[in-house]
Chains A and B, each alone.
Chain A
């Protein structure tokens, strides 16, 4: 009975198999076809597809709508909710609505500030922080009440996730912050892009020392850099992404027409390395505007067949 209600992602992680999630590039259209097409490329290789919530504070089709479209065609979404755009009343309602459409995986994130997006004049909401959002979602699921104490009249089967960024300061506090997220309700974690393996290893050592790897499934964020220019943009303009100099040099030394291939190769190498780290349960592949590479990356990292 309980088995049936589990999301596919939760089942894979619980079974101890190496899990893979990826991200759908949200369309700037009102075409369901755009979502279907993007999902089709990813679905065969992933245990869950993230529907991003206006990441980078840029406006796209909403994550809620993308989730609805994905569940319609039988794919499994990971519903991202950021705290930037909606207050607690809207968010709790959205969680109910998403669950009603068959969404089970929820990823609770703070969200990039509006200043990094295409409409910096927007009002930042941040009514919740990510930990308060997690705790509230857990409360809705486990205690079946809204934050006010008012009853919810049905079950809400949810698998709760959170983000982590081990690659930025305060480094030594990052593992303890993860512990906070776990207590608040996080069952799985998707990390920010991992390019700095030594730093990540140190983080995982701290995570293991606190015994957290036994309490949460950690999926490492990886992704192919499309070119030196794209890497430079991510490194300087996108908050929270750290790319070490060695990787930048490696791309710079590669002729322009081969940079995409090199970026993919770096991604495969990182994926292979993080798989070996104790406490890592899966990867989250972010291939913005190069979704077609996800299949190749999964294959070249030796992660096929998937089912």
Chain B
């Protein structure tokens, strides 16, 4: 059941990704259109994922669990403080985001391996902006230095199925 839900979410992700491409000329960073779309994006993602509006969404790479809900804002996996029941070191009543992310990714045929992506530091200046707009214009990934070579990243993601 959970697997179907995750496969469905992968499809939705692909659909949104595809559907917003033609809107690129309209949806410019800091434009009035972005201001209009932000509440919509927030509403959709907040209800489903408790989205924190970091503006650089990696949801599909983290088992469809928003990693910004991790109290340490970790983007690359769990810390060493996870409790034996799989709950969070900081918030004992909450299941560890990364335990959930691993469970989710394990059930995702298309994007599961992306859990092994080495995620770059969060751009805090994109907080509360639209991840959709940022993605269309490459603001979420742009950087003057290469974070990781495609070759290194591929080799790493190959480990997923092992």
- Chain A positions near chain B (C-beta within 8 angstroms): 83-84, 88, 110-113, 115-116, 124, 126-132, 135-136, 139, 143, 145, 147-149, 163-165, 168-170, 172-173, 176-177, 179-180, 183-184, 192, 209-210, 239-240, 242
Closest residue of chain A to B67 (Cβ to Cβ) is: A129
Whether A147 contacts B121 by the Cβ 8 Å rule is yes
Given A127-B124, A183-B156, A210-B162, verify A143-B81 contact (CB < 8 Å).
Answer: no
- Which residues of B sit under 8 angstroms from A112, Cβ to Cβ? 81, 89
Whether B162 contacts A183 by the Cβ 8 Å rule is no
- Which residues of A sit under 8 angstroms from B86, Cβ to Cβ? 169-170
Whether A165 contacts B80 by the Cβ 8 Å rule is yes
Render B115-126 as a binary contact track against A, CB cut-off 8 A, 1 for contact: 110111110100
Whether B77 contacts A179 by the Cβ 8 Å rule is no
Closest residue of chain B to A166 (Cβ to Cβ) is: B80
Q: How many Cβ-Cβ contacts under 8 Å join chain A to chain B?
A: 125
Interface check B108, CB cutoff 8 A:
no
Interchain residue pairs A-B with the least CB separation, the first 5: A165-B80, A149-B144, A239-B81, A131-B76, A240-B80
- Chain B positions near chain A (C-beta within 8 angstroms): 71-84, 86, 89-90, 96, 98-99, 102-103, 115-116, 118-122, 124, 143-145, 147-148, 152-153, 155-156, 159-160, 162
- Which residues of B sit under 8 angstroms from A192, Cβ to Cβ? 80
Whether A129 contacts B76 by the Cβ 8 Å rule is yes
Closest residue of chain B to A88 (Cβ to Cβ) is: B121
Interface of B is mostly: loop
Closest residue of chain B to A168 (Cβ to Cβ) is: B82
Supplied contacts A136-B121, A170-B98, 6 more A-B pairs, CB within 8 Å: A110-B72, A116-B81, A168-B78, A170-B96, A173-B77, A173-B102
- The 8 Å CB contact of A209, one of B80, B115, B124, B162, is B162
Given A170-B99, A179-B156, A240-B82, verify A131-B124 contact (CB < 8 Å).
Answer: no
6 A-B residue pairs with CB within 8 Å: A126-B74, A132-B76, A148-B145, A165-B80, A173-B115, A184-B76
Whether B74 contacts A129 by the Cβ 8 Å rule is yes
Docked pose: A131 CA to B119 CA in angstroms:
8
B115, B118, B143 — which one has the most chain A CB atoms within 10 A of its CB?
A: B118
Whether A183 contacts B80 by the Cβ 8 Å rule is no
- Which residues of A sit under 8 angstroms from B155, Cβ to Cβ? 183
Whether B89 contacts A110 by the Cβ 8 Å rule is no
- The 8 Å CB contact of B89, one of A88, A128, A239, is A239
Docked pose: A128 CA to B73 CA in angstroms:
8
Shortest C-beta distance, B74 to chain A (Å), equals 4
Whether B99 contacts A135 by the Cβ 8 Å rule is no
Shortest C-beta distance, A111 to chain B (Å), equals 8
Docked pose: A113 CA to B11 CA in angstroms:
36
Docked pose: A230 CA to B78 CA in angstroms:
26
Docked pose: A177 CA to B162 CA in angstroms:
13
- Which residues of B sit under 8 angstroms from A84, Cβ to Cβ? 72
Whether B82 contacts A129 by the Cβ 8 Å rule is no
Docked pose: A84 CA to B120 CA in angstroms:
17
- Which residues of A sit under 8 angstroms from B124, Cβ to Cβ? 127
- The 8 Å CB contact of B121, one of A113, A132, A209, is A132
Closest residue of chain A to B117 (Cβ to Cβ) is: A180
Docked pose: A174 CA to B75 CA in angstroms:
15
- The 8 Å CB contact of B72, one of A113, A135, A168, is A113
Whether A180 contacts B77 by the Cβ 8 Å rule is yes
Closest residue of chain B to A87 (Cβ to Cβ) is: B124
- Which residues of A sit under 8 angstroms from B75, Cβ to Cβ? 129, 132
- The 8 Å CB contact of A169, one of B73, B96, B118, B159, is B96
Docked pose: A126 CA to B153 CA in angstroms:
24
Docked pose: A12 CA to B21 CA in angstroms:
54
Whether B99 contacts A127 by the Cβ 8 Å rule is no
B80, B118, B120 — which one has the most chain A CB atoms within 10 A of its CB?
A: B80
